[in-house]
Every structure is written in C-alpha cells, then in structure tokens.
Amino acid sequence: MKIIVLGCGFHGRGIAYELSESLPDADILVADKIGSRAQAVAEKIDCQWLELDIHDAAALRSALTDGSLVFNGVGPYHYKESGLRVVDAAIKEAVPCVDMSDDHEVAEALLLNTDWDKRAKDAGIAVITGTGIAPGVTGMMAKLGYQTLDSTDSIDIRFSWNYSLEYPAALQHFFRISSGQAPQFINAEYVRPGAFAEPELVEFLEPVGIKEVSYSGINDPVSLSVSLPGLTRVTAKGAYHQPRANDLLSSMIRWGFTSYDPLPGETLAPFEYLMQHLMSDQGRGTFDIPMEPIPMAARATVRGYLNGKPKCLNYEAHDFSRRATTSAAARVAVLLVNGKLEFTGVRAPEGCVDPSLFLKDLAEHPDIKFYAWDEESQSQPLVF
C-alpha cells in the first residue's frame, strides 16, 4: 500500500504522522516544495520523501504512480487552483484522493460541476474533499442532526477561531472566504450576499462566549446542500476571535487587497503582496495580533421536524489544539484506504461517512470536545 502525502506544513505533517501510526504497514511518501521540510517529516516517521512542486504536472503524476491513496495537504487550496490540480492528477493516475480543502471555489468546482464526478467514476476512484473541522466536522455534526430528525429544512454553520501569523495558508484562506464571493444556499438557491453581509452575534459555549460573525465561504452551503436531500437553506458564518483581526480583515477586503488581479506593470497581485508583507519582519511588527486563550468553536444548528413537531438541534465542537482538522482528515483517509467507504466519484464527507461512528472516534482526541442540546435543554457533552 503506497500513500502519498502532499505538503508538510502544519496540517500536512500532522496527517503524515497520524497515517503512519494508523497504517504501520503502509509505504508512505511525503512531498513538499521545500525539500528540507519533507525530509524532516520523513526522518521522524522513517519513510520516503520528495521535493515536489504540485504545479509541475508531470512530476506530480509521477509521484502518484501506483499509489493507493493521495492526501493533499497543500494549502490554500484555491490559490493557483492547487486543490483542483491534485484531483486532476489523481484521476489521471486512478489514485483515490482525500483533501482538507476549505475553499468555496474548490467545493463549487468539484461538487456542482458533474464533470469531476464523472471523471472520478470513470477512473474507478473515490475523491473526498473538505475533511477538516470547518468544513468536515461541521458537516458530520449537521448530518447527525439531519439523521435524527424526521425531516430537515435548514442547517446553519457558525464558527470562530484564532488569527495567527504562524499559519499563513490559513490566513490567506480566511481572507479569501471572507471577501464576499462565496455562495450561500437560501430558499433552495445559491446566492452571494457579499462581504460581511448580515452580521449576527452568536453565543458560543464557554469559554468562547459571544462573537460577531458574518457570511463566510467555507464549503458547507455547497457540500451540505448537495449531500443531504431536501434542504432549502444552508448558511455559514464565521469570524476571528480577536476584534482587531476582524477589523484588519474588513479593511484589507474593502481596500482591494484580496484581489488576485495584478496591477499594470506589477509582478505581484495585491493579495500576493499582502501575504508577503504580513509574513515579513516589518509586517509581523504591524500585524502580529495576540491569540486569545480559547479554543476554536464550530456549531451546526439543524432545524426540521420530529414526530410532527418543529425541532431545533445544536451541536458544537471545540478544538483546543488546532489539530481537529488534522485528526478528522486522517480518519477519513484511513476509512477510505481501508475499504470502509465503498463508492466512486466525488463527495464531501457528509456524503459518504457515518457521522455517529466518525464523531465517536474523533471525540477520543483529548483536545477535541463535542456538545449537543435542543431548545428545551441545556448543553451537554455529546454522548454516542
């Protein structure tokens, strides 16, 4: 069994470590465009490594040859179509593929354009996209509620997390999904409300507390509406924990710094310049906002009917380690490569994974907590 892990950043290397532990007999190849980073991961888990830029199509396909699974941990997935490039290569090499892609552009392409699904089916492989915490765990919580109710009308995803310069791909992702281009599923139609539209206050469970969130471009409005029949509304709203970070976010978007369109005579697009500046010594002195000592919170509110009466179910996940995405994604990859998910085509995790078994397994992680409640009860740890 040959498993290829692309990207050795924060989540990519974590994926490699978890797959090595869960699949001790697998031959793992880790790859990164910075060879020393791949080598460091390989030395830790005693596997092969490769210096690889996934935008080199021939080299990418060569790395996937005879693979049993490829996991794409190269983010941000929307940038230069990184996520779609890997799926394309996986289909051409007939290698099952899993990723953590949390960008709406990739979800729209893979889940709304049926060509990708047909190509994967013709190749006889499964492609699973968006397997982190939001999307991913959010979809699993939503599916749990969907299956609990007799019928479900709407699902609303809300989340808040820490801004940190230590995770540049995550920063670029969050700037992009907040820029107003993302779809929401409202009245059974995809609409784009725009940047920072319809802000609302959400009282997350302690220790997170009240946060103001607005429409966000994670996958869920697309992936849930495609995966769970009968829904007429799926929305996603999110924000940073820190008000200063949200002010920075809104300012950069308002002033056009999330554009990928290069200025005349310039080599860098505004967004590329912004990210370089944020990561520079000068930029860090200006934009380094302290993290809040609270976990990421992600909530799924599921509304529908049970026994003929309206019912509202709430599920909330707290990630104290920033490893929920890594651990969730690794579990989906293990299920797929071990033959527990028998399908071909392109799906989100909520379209192919049993939410009860998945969340029960993930809840064993010491830094990930799950809670559940309805309109008639107080929040309690989620029991399986």
Residues 57 and 103 in one domain: yes
Residues 183 and 289 in one domain: yes
| Residue 282 within any structural domain of the chain | yes
Residues 24 and 112 in one domain: yes
| Residue 380 within any structural domain of the chain | no
Residue 18: its pLDDT value, please? 97
User: Where would I find the beta strands (DSSP E) of the chain?
Assistant: 2-6, 27-32, 48-51, 69-72, 97-99, 126-128, 151-161, 184-186, 189-191, 200-203, 210-215, 233-240, 296-306, 309-319, 345-347, 368-374, 380-381
Spatial separation of the C-alpha atoms in residues 131 and 120, rounded to whole Å: 18
Residues 317 and 198 in one domain: yes
Spatial separation of the C-alpha atoms in residues 242 and 293, rounded to whole Å: 11
Residues 343 and 312 in one domain: no
Q: What is the CATH number of the domain that holds 186?
A: 3.30.360.10
Residues 124 and 172 in one domain: no
Cα dist from 309 to 150, 156, 232, 251, 316, whole Å: 10, 19, 18, 44, 23
- Report whether 215 contacts 235 (CB < 8 A): yes
Spatial separation of the C-alpha atoms in residues 296 and 233, rounded to whole Å: 24
Domain that holds residue 208: 137-321+362-374
| Residue 141 within any structural domain of the chain | yes
- Look at the chain and report how many structural domains it folds into: 2
| Residue 127 within any structural domain of the chain | yes
Residues 181 and 103 in one domain: no
Residue 34: its pLDDT value, please? 97
Residues 153 and 68 in one domain: no
Residues 80 and 171 in one domain: no
Residues 161 and 307 in one domain: yes
| Residue 384 within any structural domain of the chain | no
Residue 382: its pLDDT value, please? 96
| Residue 381 within any structural domain of the chain | no
Residues 9 and 20 in one domain: yes
User: Where would I find the beta strands (DSSP E) of 81-232?
Assistant: 97-99, 126-128, 151-161, 184-186, 189-191, 200-203, 210-215
Residue 130: its pLDDT value, please? 97
Residue 7: its pLDDT value, please? 97
Residues 278 and 332 in one domain: no
Instruction: Go through the chain and tell me how many residues it has.
Output: 384
Residues of the chain with pLDDT under 50: none
Residue 286: its pLDDT value, please? 87
Q: Output the pTM of the full model.
A: 0.96
- Report whether 356 contacts 384 (CB < 8 A): yes
Residue 266: its pLDDT value, please? 87
What letter would DSSP give residue 293?
S
How do residues 335-359 score in pLDDT, each as one tens digit? 999 999 999 999 999 999 999 999 9
Structure token pair of residue 351: 């379209």
Residue 384: its pLDDT value, please? 83
What would you report as the CA-atom Rg of the chain, rounded to the nearest whole angstrom?
A: 20
